[in-house]
Structure 1
Amino acid sequence: MFEYQTVYNGATAMVAGLVTSIHCVAMCGPLSCAFAPTRTADAPPMIILTGYHLSKLLSYTLIGALAGAFGSQVINQLEGSWMRFIPWILVAFFVVVAFRLDRYFPKPTWLGKFYQSANRRFVKLSKPVAASLIGFASPLLPCGPLYIIFGLCLFTGSPIRGAEFALGFGLGTMPLLWLAQSQFMRMQQRMKPDLLYRIQRGVALLAALVMMWRMREMLGIDAAVGWLCR
């Protein structure tokens, strides 16, 4: 019997974060690079970027834990057989990211305005403090994939799993965004949005196919293959 926890976990969320990080660089990069280290910065670049990403991971983890705690109360009322289909929401997530369907999702624009307003205040502070505050406030960004991930945390079943899922997603977004922040101007010139989106689409579709293959038992593919091989 297929266990949904085998794919609905922090590792899968990390893959989702890696895929989404391409979107982050293209769409949210300028906002998150407002504090990008410069030669005249009042602290080493490593400290500035570390402060941003650690506070961002902390914020994601807290929201994931809260969502998992709230969702656990709902899951307790649901039948276990229904939970088997939760991973298909992750497949849908990768398809949504691949074709950028999140552009059509309604977003709470007031959160984005609040983030930009706070951002303008933060950048007046020292670079390390500004980076940490901007990172902690990053869940306020009007980001469709991020909201989907927080929604999926509701179905993890516990605060710990919710925190793990959100943390995994945050870790997945780190490498490419860190590179973009440290090499912001150079990457803007070399990495065109169209190229980033093509890469994102390919990786997202590959992730969706891998997940579907992992869940082939639910589709009856194993049984069909066994019958054909007789």
Structure 2
Amino acid sequence: MGLMSSFHCIGMCGPIALALPVQKGNRLQQFAALIVYNSGRAITYALLGMLIGSVGASLAWIGYLRYLSVLAGFAMLIYVFWPATLDKYFHPPLFWQKAVGFVKKKMGDMLRSRKMYSWFLLGSFNGLLPCGMVYLALISSVATGSMVGGGLYMLLFGIGTMPMMMAVGFFKQWFTPTLRTRIRKLTPIMLAVAGVWLVVRGVMIQYPSSSAPASSQITICHGK
């Protein structure tokens, strides 16, 4: 999912990668800078996944995980086939808009810096920007049913986006706006496959029966 989502990232977050001031160093320095930036983004995704995954852990205990998996799958399919529906009925609250404005301002300050830690923070803040693909990945991470599973899911999601984002930083002259638009058209295919998989997964989940076997008994030792 992360690998296919990277085609979407090229159009949305690609301009940030293109703006990174890493072109003046040698190839090793460029590689290190891009790794630091993208690692910050992946770590933010992992932390968000752990937070959301903890919700999935509680839902698993009360038996609602299968319904959440189906809901996540349908949400992804709606995003693919009827994106205007989500844009019409779901609007971010005012406090969220202000938070996003703050994050963008901080990112603008960090883009002017040439220090490695600033690029790590830039990637970390980038992971907090509104993104439909990240939201869908987070919804999917709930279906893992655990905090560790959710964190690992989102970490792998972030790592999956890295090859394409690294390529944008290295070969920025190749990634024209026209090419980025064409690549983004491949994203709905993978999203539809992932949505169907989550629906099927939710339907196939089976919880163990609460009834204990009749032969299972507690041994009682009688003292003298």
* Equivalence map 1:25-104=2 (5 Å): 25-39=10-24, 44-76=29-61, 78-79=62-63, 82-99=64-81, 101=83, 104=87
Scaled by the length of structure 2, the TM-score of the pair is 0.73
How far residue 159 of structure 1 moved from its aligned partner, in angstroms, is: 1.6
2:68 partner letter: I
Please point out which of 126, 131, 138 is paired with 1:138. 126
Q: Give the percent of matched residue pairs that are identical in Structure 1 and Structure 2.
A: 22
**8 A Cα contact 1:109 1:142, kept in partner:** no
* Structure 2 partner of 1:164: 152
* Structure 1 partner of 2:91: 106
| Secondary structure at the counterpart of residue 177 of structure 1 | helix
**8 A Cα contact 2:110 2:122, kept in partner:** yes
Q: Any unmatched runs of 5+ in structure 2?
A: 205-224
Give the whole-Å Cα distance in 2 for the aligned partners of 1:166 and 1:196: 22
Give the whole-Å Cα distance in 1 for the aligned partners of 2:23 and 2:127: 25
**8 A Cα contact 1:124 1:130, kept in partner:** no
Deviations along 1:162-189, one digit per CA (max 9) or x if unpaired, are 1111112112211212212222232125
Scaled by the length of structure 1, the TM-score of the pair is 0.71
Aligned pairs, number: 198
Structure 1 or 2, whichever has the larger Rg, is 2
Change (3 A) 1:111 1:185: farther
* Structure 2 partner of 1:226: none
How far residue 135 of structure 1 moved from its aligned partner, in angstroms, is: 1.0
Change (3 A) 1:113 1:99: farther
* Structure 1 partner of 2:3: 18
Deviations along 1:185-212, one digit per CA (max 9) or x if unpaired, are 321256141x123222233334445x27
Q: Any unmatched runs of 5+ in structure 1?
A: 1-14, 219-230
